[in-house]
Amino acid sequence: MKKNSKGLAILLACAVLAPMGVVQAQETAALASDNSNYRVLPGDQIEVYVWGEERLQRTVSVLPDGTLAFPLVGQVDAAGLSLSEIETSITEALRPEYRGEVPRVTVSVVATAGLQFSVMGRVNAPGTFQPGRPVNVLEALAFAGGPSEFADLDDVLILRKRNNTLVPIKASLARLFKSRVSQRDIERANILAIEPGDTIIVP
């Protein structure tokens, strides 16, 4: 896994953008769209959809004070919350408007203004990136041009800020570049969603 960096870079891009067989493509697409761990930031654009209520489907911006405005609800705290937490807040705020069950609320990120991360080490284009949308660690490496020669993808390190300290998180990605990738391989790889301020180091 430490040789043929060009092949690894191509495979990395394919892991995000291209088919790898029907099952593998479906699994990778699900990972790329899974932003359940993403924490919303001021300036992000959020799409809110209330099922069966076209008048309550719209894209809103998170204001500098961390709130968003939504019809029938007013201001909703959003900054620092996950998408599921925002869904719960809007659902609870809509409850007085319905006699029965509140329609399902779904929230997704259209664009994120505040997500910025850095990639260092053995990658082809190290630097700081602001993708404009949530990404996972695989996509982050793709932004950095993929791993360079002799990159050790089993010891990728993510340094994450927590309460003014840096928390190390390990991602073992080498197993994803086999000819066949199982669901267990994907789960063990620890393909995390990138958070603002993350630094990814490829040894």
CATH code of residue 50: 3.30.1950.10
Domain boundary (86, 111, 136) is at 111
Element holding 201 (H helix, E strand): strand 199-202
Q: Would the pLDDT of 11 be above 60?
A: no
User: Is the predicted pLDDT of residue 168 greater than 60, yes or no?
Assistant: yes
pLDDT at 9 over 80: no
Q: Are residues 93 and 146 in the same domain?
A: no
Mean of pLDDT values over 40-61: 90
Are residues 147 and 79 part of one domain? no
Determine the Cα–Cα distance for residues 203 and 157; give it in Å rounded to an integer. Answer: 8
3-state secondary structure of 152: coil
Q: Do 122 and 183 share a domain, yes or no? A: yes
Domain boundaries, position 76: 45-111
Q: What is the pLDDT of residues 12-23, one digit of tens each?
A: 444 443 333 333
Q: Is residue 174 one of the residues assigned to a domain? A: yes
DSSP of 25-49, one letter per residue? HHHHHHHHH--TT----TT-EEEEE
Segments of the chain assigned E as strands: 45-50, 58-61, 67-70, 74-77, 105-111, 117-121, 127-129, 156-162, 165-171, 199-202
- Average of pLDDT values for 48-62? 91
Residue 43 Ramachandran class (φ > 0 left, ψ -120 to 50 alpha, else beta): left
- Picking from 144, 153, 191, 182, the residue whose alpha carbon sits closest to that of residue 33 is 191
Instruction: Kindly report the pTM of this predicted structure.
Output: 0.56
Sign of the alpha-carbon torsion through 112, 124, 10, 37:
negative
> CATH number for the domain including 149?
3.10.560.10
Over residues 168-172, mean pLDDT:
92
Tell me: the pLDDT tens digits for 31-49?
A: 334 456 678 888 888 999 9
What does the pLDDT read at residue 22? 32
pLDDT at 43: 85
Question: Which SS3 state, helix, strand or coil, does residue 77 take?
Answer: strand
What pLDDT is attached to residue 145? Answer: 93
CA 194 to chain centre: 6
Q: Are residues 118 and 105 in the same domain?
A: no
Confidence category of residue 10, pLDDT binned at 50, 70, 90? very low
Domain contains 94: yes
For residue 27, what are its two tokens? 């699994």
Q: Is pLDDT at 123 greater than 80 in this prediction? A: yes
Task: Point out which residues pair with 148 in neighbouring strands.
Answer: none
Number of domains in the chain: 2
